[in-house]
Structure 1
Amino acid sequence: MNTQSRMASDTILMTPSTISFTTDYGLSDGFVAACHGTIARLAPQARIIDVTHLIPPGDIRRAAAVLAQTAPALPPAVHLAVVDPGVGTSRRPIAIATHGTASHPGGSLLVGPDNGLLIPAAESLGGIATAVHLTNREWFAAEVSATFHGRDVFAPVAARLSAGASLLAAGEVIDDLVRLPHPFVEQTPRRLIAEVLTVDRFGNVQLAATPDLLPSTALALTVETVEAARTNTFGDAPAGALILLTDSAGQLAVAVNGGSAAALLSLTPGDRVTIAY
């Protein structure tokens, strides 16, 4: 990383400050409230946008996809994300500054564990400008629990950054971030095989493939062993019909008009779906 990009990332200041918050903490315990309280004490001016706290426990890939697909719709922010099955181990706590995009010209910041969670969101926000291993313990809680870094490490760091503190004061610059494996996508003649990225609460199945991988003339397809139609909207097919469409994140998705494609095809994230055309 060059000096110019480091300097640029060091001057990011959110006004008004915003912190987005994504976790697998759920809503039945006090974990989310404890993190909110930490932020409120250190950065009372910060506005917190809760993305979701219902990520399946430990599902880093799901959290990464949700954050990457949501962050561009949010204002420039400090994106605090904690899905951290390796909490308390040798995995590093990190913060990332992004280059920015046309809608986020000043860039954004991301805070969380170095387990691949933050990388897709950073890429959706213009790419990584600077990454820092959080080693400045003065920014942490006075006592750091081995099992709750969300409250004791990540929330305090996010609060300080949202208040305009220097990213480079948070720790040491690094360039060897952990990345998630690329999801499986394979094309063969008249066949596309793609990994399931996510399944939403409606049972819509988002694939790792993008629409350009299917010929525009491929309107009648078979998904697994079920006939499907390629449509623009859910309502373009009869109720109960299996369809393939482009979702709001620009990915190919398998859906059922008025039903659940995940239930119909018995699909979960990580499964591979075969589309014949």
Structure 2
Amino acid sequence: MTGGPRDGVGDAPAWISLTTDYGLADGFVAACHGVIGRLAPAARVIDVTHLVPPADVRRGAAVLAQTVPYLPVGVHVAVVDPGVGTARRGIALATPGGLLVGPDNGLLLDAATTLGGVTSAVELTNPHWLAPEVSRTFHGRDVFAPVAARLALGAPLAGAGPAVDPAGLVRLPEPVVRSGDGGLTAEVLTVDHFGNVQLAAPGGLLAALPARLRVAGRPATHGRTFGDAPPGELVVHVDSAGRVAVAVNGGRAADVLAVGPGDLVSVTATAEEPPGRPAGAEIGPLPD
């Protein structure tokens, strides 16, 4: 690798991650890999996912934020970009834990928070860093991939374009989370491949709730993992991202509840307790 120090990355190896809604049926992902390979052949690329639902910026933001803390320090490219070719900006963000590259539509900011917060930001306007001809509809290939490759090789963030005020970056609306009166109501943040329903509520809100609950009016168990509920029944737990989630032991909670991202789900206490568990018993922390 050559070039100067990476803003926010230090001396880490040249890792690049890709998160998009491009799918796998076309050549879009391969084209991005090809651009990176031509400019930075030694860079190692991790494909986080290319199956974000088309134009679902919130889902892409959630996947990115929940994944980047576990990736090598490097440059993280995310492209879920329904505004491609419009006045929306292309940006690169420096954080204490790495760099983020993508559209200024709210996609990157939750991930930036998990990496320690935005320390500086630039708009991607330097034509020497972009493809010779930039398509109006494929900025992943022509803008974000070449910028990421140059950053991975050590080019300074300031070379990509002028600084922008982080306070002016586009942010997604805050999801709905309400708690009190023996329960909580929260917006569905994501639904994963298994049909598990992740709510926007932080996991700590479950601590005071009893062992028997109702989710959207249906009986559920407050558990620590899927097997804490009988087969086919709902379990409310804290997921691997630290959020309240609803699952079905052996099934798909999203189908049972008929909900998707953006819907509101209520979790309330019920007096009904399973045999052998005292009324009001709480689920304690997992053992070390």
Pairwise TM-score range, normalised by the shorter structure:
over 0.9
Out of 107, 129, 145, the residue aligned to residue 139 of structure 1 is 129
Percent identity of equivalent pairs: 63
Return the index of the structure with the highest Cα Rg: 2
Distance apart, 1:14 and its partner CA:
5.1
**Shift of the alpha carbon at 1:12?**
3.3
In 2, the alpha carbon distance for the partners of 1:14 and 1:91 equals 32
8 Å Cα contact 1:96-1:109 kept in structure 2: yes
Structure 1 residue aligned with 2:238:
246
- Counterpart pick for 2:254 among 243, 255, 262: 262
Cα distance in 1, alignment partners of residues 213 and 249 from structure 2: 16
Distance in structure 2 (CA, Å) of the matches to 1:11 and 1:199: 32
Structure 1 unpaired stretches of 5+: 1-7, 100-106
Q: Tell me the secondary structure at the aligned position of residue 228 of structure 1.
A: strand
Structure 2 equivalent of residue 80 of structure 1: 77
- Residue-pair matches, total: 264
Q: How far, CA to CA, are the matches of 2:6 and 2:33 in structure 1?
A: 25
Q: CA deviation at 1:15?
A: 3.6
Q: 2:267 and 2:75 mapped to 1: Cα distance? A: 39
Letter in 2 for 1:149: H
TM-score, normalized by length of structure 2? 0.89
Determine the C-alpha separation between the residues in 2 that align with 1:28 and 1:216: 46
Deviation at 1:224, TM superposition (A): 0.5
Q: From 194, 201, 204, give the equivalent of 2:186.
A: 194
For residues 91-113 of structure 1, what are the alpha-carbon distances to aligned partners after superposition, in whole Å with 9 as ceiling and x for unaligned? 000000002xxxxxxx2000000
Tell me what 1:61 maps to.
58
Where does residue 280 of structure 2 map in the other structure?
A: none
Native 8 Å contact 2:92 2:123 kept in 1: yes
Q: What letter corresponds to residue 164 of structure 1 in structure 2?
A: G
Which residue number in structure 2 is paired with residue 48 of structure 1?
Answer: 45
Following TM superposition, by how much is the alpha carbon of 1:215 offset from its aligned partner in structure 2, in angstroms? 4.0
- Residue in structure 2 matched with residue 152 of structure 1 by the alignment: 142
Instruction: Pick from 226, 231, 244 the counterpart of residue 218 of structure 2.
Output: 226
> Structure 1 residue runs of 4+, over 4 Å off?
none
Deviations 1:223-265 (A, max 9, x none): 0010101111111221101010111111110000000000000
Q: Report the Cα distance in structure 2 between the residues aligned to 1:20 and 1:201, rounded to whole angstroms.
A: 20
Q: Is the 8 A contact 1:11 1:166 kept in 2?
A: no
Query: Which residue of structure 2 aligns with residue 181 of structure 1?
Result: 173
State the SS of the aligned residue for 2:163.
strand
Match of 2:152 among 158, 162, 173: 162
